Amino acid sequence: ANVIAADFVKSSVRPDDCPRDGLPEFALVGRSNVGKSSLLNSLVRRKRLALTSKKPGKTQCINHFKVNDSWYLVDLPGYGYAAAPQEARTNWDEFTRNYFLGRENLVSVFLLVDASIPAKKIDLDYASWLGQNKCKIQKSSQTSNYVGINLVPETPLKTSSNVPMTLVFTKCDKRKKKKNGGKRPEENVENFQSLIREYFEAAPPWIMTSSVTNQGRDEILLHMSQLRNY
Ligand code: GTP
Ligand code: MG
């Protein structure tokens, strides 16, 4: 599961413009500012391959990065960024959802959720949309806190409208703060898990991460290599 090479390939604003070589790919999606681009950099051990920012709304295109010349990581615009003009937001949201609906070589969706704040409705809504449109049957063999080799769901997942979803909790290095509702990352994660079970037959597999400490990096890479071979 080692990353030897990682290269930016292209930015697209239409699913049709995305690479057509059919290589397997993994999409990173989540609220603006949740840490998608930072996680991508952590995974490939590069500081600035994907551009990150303190300000939400940095990533505005579908960005393809090729890893080891054989698979893609896809960095997507975030949802829910209230400060961008409505027109731009609608546009990002539309092409991102169309990307999900049409992309046949998408092996798995990684939905990123901020573990440093309490569960947000917008994340549950997005998970629900994915559950209805792309990640239909979700049955993981386990539902709780382990990482690694058993993460791959049991269900055969051979069609492009039924790809496994993995929950990635980000910013687990951030400790509780009053303004964040005073909860520890572990408590926020547990709460999110129980809420998301309403939308899925079983909670999707999940991994706790930090792009600051690189927590979860090896687990994600291992999980991705298993999903590619699945
Ligand atoms: P958009 O492209 O705007 O949708 O955002 P994004 O999801 O790509 O977020 P990005 O990676 O740009 O990170 C947003 C901010 O969160 C930056 O200031 C990062 O440094 C910070 N950040 C990202 N991951 C972590 C993390 O694991 N821990 C901490 N403490 N901060 C993080
Ligand atoms: Mg980004």
Q: What is the pLDDT of residues 173-182, one digit of tens each?
A: 998 666 656 7
DSSP string, 39-100: HHHHHHT-SSSS---SSS----SEEEEEETTTEEEEE-PPB--TTS-HHHHHHHHHHHHHHH
The number of domains in the chain is 1
Q: Write out the residue range of the structural domain in which residue 103 sits.
A: 6-228
Domain membership flag for residue 145? yes
Distance CA 31, CA 163 (A): 20
Instruction: Give the ipTM.
Output: 0.99
Q: What is the CATH number of the domain that holds 101?
A: 3.40.50.300
Domain membership flag for residue 14? yes
Domain membership flag for residue 45? yes
Percent of the chain with pLDDT over 90: 69
Collect the ranges in the chain with pLDDT lower than 70: 136-161, 176-181, 202
The model carries a pTM of 0.90
Q: Is 56 in the pocket of ligand 1 (CB under 6 A)?
A: yes
Q: Is 61 in the pocket of ligand 1 (CB under 6 A)?
A: no
Domain membership flag for residue 149? yes
Q: Is 217 in the pocket of ligand 1 (CB under 6 A)?
A: no
Domain membership flag for residue 208? yes
* 3-state SS class at 204: coil
Domain membership flag for residue 125? yes
Specify the pLDDT at position 151. Answer: 46
Specify the pLDDT at position 181. Answer: 63
- Please answer whether residues 35 and 112 qualify as being in contact, where contact means their C-beta atoms are separated by less than 8 angstroms: yes
Domain membership flag for residue 1? no
Taking all residues of the chain, what is their mean pLDDT, rounded to a whole number? Answer: 87
Specify the pLDDT at position 200. Answer: 77
Domain membership flag for residue 90? yes
Segment (H or E) for 109 = strand 106-114
